Structure 1
């Protein structure tokens, strides 16, 4: 028998750590045979201790290569020139890509066959192998990043008195049957690569930025942080019925919550674009990557039909009591505006989904606000005469402390009587247009 290295044949004089690379490459490619006890030139060197050598290879494969590849390997003992050699036949695996455990699903850990050599696979080749073997479901595919932490998610489970141990992680499909983290695990980890970007604008267009921020980390952490950020910009408009104060927020909290959850649960994470939230004077827009699933129309969505793109993620949010039932989010949003002239709008394209929440108070007249506090009337007059008022003005005119002045100005801002301008030491308050008339 003549031995010569080729695309599917590799020769090794003895067992060295490098043979892991060859085994991985054969399993990721078209299969092949590794001969132990044969020199590179094809001459026979032989193996002195057959059983010990086969055990060494078996342990190396079991302990350092993932997923489990042992079922695709066969060992044979051959004899030639009165010397024994070991033939290790490796079939093409069905759970590719296989990789060196310490290196992970990266080019330095994944090898493929190229000519007579085993070379690192490209990122594109790794993703293609994952797609071919794991299917098209993003959340069930193996994560390219395997060094994951779950501090925020674990904390959320603990707050709801839910267990979050190994058994739960397996049940929730955060790891697969081979103990490998899935993309669902990546989404719930601090290493999540997807972000939410928020921009706040001065008016009803994008001409003037007031603020912008990008939120990272676990989707659970992003949900909490983003909601809190929006809540800070969700102002309260106050009116009075005699001595009874009636508060109305610009955006119903339930609508904000459901729109945010929708943009996180239903977006297409195979697309790397960030979820975008834009806060204008008259509306908030939530834009998430990924349009409606094939066969689903906007009319279906409005009727409550829910076909979830990320079923496993939705199940986790259901367990965390973040969602109550599938298909109710849009209905809750619309119900929150049942008594309003302006209704939420929903738009969809092939690759994006948008929810627009109108500001309930944007067209509410503010000139008839009753200043039941005489100090508010004084502040109002100062702003009307000067064109603006500062905290220092209030402290001086009313002879009050800094904290009292700030509280008074915030109260008038909440009533939509004043608007805040500037930052830091340059902060000032100006009358809203209807008050200036």
Structure 2
């Protein structure tokens, strides 16, 4: 890590993964070890020793100048022993230590038995708080080392369960195309095959997943008080519907789906010989998002799964953040993982969820194919996963283009292609690097998807090398009745680039090569050639040399 990198981190202040500790009076060993342990039990991160809470650099005490002793001290005073990396730095004449703390895949305490984790307060500053026993399983499940949904409930017997819910399971398998081999099984065989029950000391007891699917409402309230689902419909500030459910999962799903379907409105467009519906909300996208919220929620945390319809669209949220390894930047490509693996497997076998584990693709597809914005997960946090689906009007011509292409190929439009077409529709002209962030795949793979769209005459490429850009094709703009829009994009030629450079100089006084690259979407060499051409024509002159070179009107 460079000195500049460290300065940037310190200027950013303390966070969930960054901790400052003053060492002016020699930080006691127990305080240092406790701070490191709390980081390890959260997300890991950096502890900067010799830095005040406000970011001032005050340096290391003489007792901590021997940095080689710090890793051994921390390893000896943590249980299990925690291995850290310590780096000595000198900033503004002050020696400080950067202690790099890994995220632990098991709970770590101090040798004195102190067990803490970090969390953010309301003002977004971090604090260390006790790690309580009921939070252990939550931590282990998020790391993928324990399955809370498979835990047996010793206080309940299988005879206490509601037999009607087994009928509901069999009906769901038939309705949603689940695992048909489960239908002819006897009740006890069905329970065992799905993991709804487990034998403990010779007696069958329901698992947590079994209670969620077979339990009675009173049992769910008593043994799993965190299970709750809310369905709300708002119009402005008026609350039209505000229903709460604590029923078994399948029954809850069916009742919520009925309430949702009653609010789905459809229009139709003609595509060839077929009428294609355009719903205000895609049913499959809703189903996958809602089932995800039920299956992947943290059942150790109080709080309801919320389904909310309002003037802006549909929102679904659940307690518990993304599981380990999943974040906003890899949602589309992360390997499928669940906080409750047994429950997730049951729901897939019943047929409610996408069996490949790629339900997130269904959610994106259900928005993008209608020309709407991609589902928005930006309001998610370490405590909540929240998705918003816009209620904006669909783009009928965009849908017609997608359906026609699917009819030609006989396969559904890949999600990568939908993302690319959607972004080009909204932002007109983009580079491969711009699109790679949305597709969440390497540029080489995105370039392959783009070239297939070029071959299909849905996208056009402009330029070469790193400056290569893409727009929707003339055929697409023509189909949408936007011929002028196509000319504005595709007609972005050398003459226009020259005029844009001159306009920039008139507005800002001078222009640099980096400005030309950004303004005209060119690579370094293309920008150099454009500036050289303008110089040769006597329209601009160079001011300065090398890195300081800028260009002014001649």
TM-score (norm 1): 0.48
Q: Which has the higher helix share?
A: 2
Structure of greater Rg:
1
TM-score (norm 2): 0.38
